[in-house]
Amino acid sequence: MATGNDPILDNLGMAHLGSPKALLGSKGGRMLGEFREFAMRGSMLYMAVGIIVGAAFGRVVSSFVSDVLMPPIGLFTGHSDFSNKFINLSGHAYATLAEAKAAGAATINYGVFFNALSDFFIVAFVVFMLIRQVNRLKNEQKAAVAMTRDCPFCLSAVAIKATRCPHCTSALTTA
């Protein structure tokens, strides 16, 4: 950084740090420009979109678990609402988890934990299926590329099983 005649920095004994104007420059700053360039790279934007979509997907899965999946499970187990299941550690009786929390009672909220665990397993399964499909597509692309090889004489693409190059008619050895 260039040190200039900045009276404020001189008075504070920090002239050796350089002027903030030199850091920022004339159009928003060199550092700000570098940050803007970094943030606008494709991979950074893709990551931001992925985080936003992932957060929205998480909310959809949470709603699915608490509103669609858990009520039938609660019905089959004889309980109406799993998210309201808890173990009270305070010794006082509370009808609902909300009452216990309002009273400040210590509780083990196993119903809420079970819902969160279900959310996790559903998200993990969907991510597994997504990665499995991406890997399958990558393997198909590799297999498609491996169907040809280059002729060592004219460097044209030749079928792997070919014994003679169709472009230069050179005899090829099988690999």
pLDDT for res 99: 92
- pLDDT tens-digit series, residues 41-71: 767 778 888 899 889 988 888 888 888 887 8
- 10-residue block means of pLDDT along the chain (175 residues)? 60 64 57 75 79 89 84 77 84 89 92 87 87 86 74 88 89 78
Answer yes or no: are the C-beta atoms of 100 and 86 closer than 8 Å: yes
pLDDT for res 2: 47
Give whole-number Cα distances, 5 to 25, 44, 102, 157, in Å: 16, 39, 61, 66
Domains and CATH numbers, the chain: 1-40 (no CATH), 42-147 (1.10.1200.120)
How many Cβ atoms sit within 10 Å of the Cβ of residue 97?
A: 19
